[in-house]
Homo-oligomer: A and B are copies of this chain.
Amino acid sequence: MENGNRTARKTSKREAIMDAAIELFSCKGYHNTHMEEIAITAGAGKGTIYEYFASKLELFQEILYTGWRRIQEHIPMEQIEHMPVAEQLQRMISGHLHFFQENRQLTRVSFLEADTIDQDLMAWTLKIKAEKERQLQELIEKGIKRGELRDDLDAGLISRMICALIPYFAGCVVMSEEEFDPQQLSAQITSAIINGIKK
């Protein structure tokens, strides 16, 4: 029991540290957040952080990895690939927005800072983003082949346009404290993309 407890506590210590780090990184930014603050917020000692994370940078990376992994798990592309492309798009966007709303702080950290902290980290986020674009591009190409989308589209361009919307609205979501309906918002966005804005 004590052992079980200790294991549980171990896990919770690590999680407490990550939660504290997410909170502080997202509020104050990477460079303005200090290891001691994280320790205090997590209710742990400064040295304890180094039991679980090799360095401040690695702690930050771990947070990013976790964030991206959770997003991926949250939006399972395989289950929706038979749907109409428009529907898939809307589900994707809706899924992201929903996730962002649920994980505001993690989102803030993931989107606002990663690029400027570390060269390696930047490369990694670029890779992730490229991967997203590629997935979307395939979706667009499928839509064109299926005859659902205009056949004069530059699939790469369109996928980039859609990829642009995600972090921007993520930012809006994260900055504003208001709740909103991801379903409805994604429907509007998708409609505008699909149908255009011209009368």
Docked-complex contact A196 and B195, CB < 8 angstroms: yes
- In this complex, what residue of B is CB-closest to A133? B172
* Most chain B C-beta atoms within 10 Å of own C-beta, residue among A116, A148, A197: A197
Residues of B within 8 A of A37 (CB): none
Pick from B29, B112, B169, B198: contact of A150, CB below 8 A. Answer: B198
Task: Establish whether residues B189 and A194, one from each chain, have CB atoms under 8 Å apart when the complex forms.
Answer: no
| A164 beta carbon closer than 8 Å to chain B | yes
Bound-state CA distance A31–B56 (Å) is 15
Q: Which single residue of chain B is at the shortest CB-CB distance from A197? A: B149
B residues less than 8 Å from A153 (CB atoms): 192, 197
Query: Which residues of A133-150 have CB atoms within 8 Å of chain B's CB atoms?
Result: 140, 143, 147-150
User: A63 to B164, alpha carbons, bound, how many Å?
Assistant: 25
Interface of chain A: mostly helix, strand, loop or mixed: helix
Q: Which of B117, B172, B188, B196 makes the CB contact (< 8 A) with A29?
A: B117
Q: State the oligomeric state as a number of copies.
A: 4
A198 to B160: give the CA distance in the assembly, Å: 17
Pick the residue among B158, B172, B199 that contacts A151 (CB under 8 A). B199
Is residue A39 within 8 Å, beta carbon to beta carbon, of the partner chain?
no
Kindly state the separation between the CA atoms of A169 and B169 in the bound complex, as whole angstroms: 15
Interface residues in A179-198 (C-beta closer than 8 Å to B): 185, 188-189, 192-198
**Are B192 and A158 within 8 A (Cβ)?**
yes
A127 to chain B, nearest CB (A): 12
Q: Closest CB-CB distance, A47 to chain B, in whole Å?
A: 13
Q: How far is the CA of A158 from the CA of B198 in the complex (A)?
A: 12
Interface residues of A (CB under 8 A from B): 29-31, 86, 112-113, 115-117, 126, 140, 143, 147-151, 153-154, 157-158, 160-161, 163-165, 167-169, 172, 175, 185, 188-189, 192-199
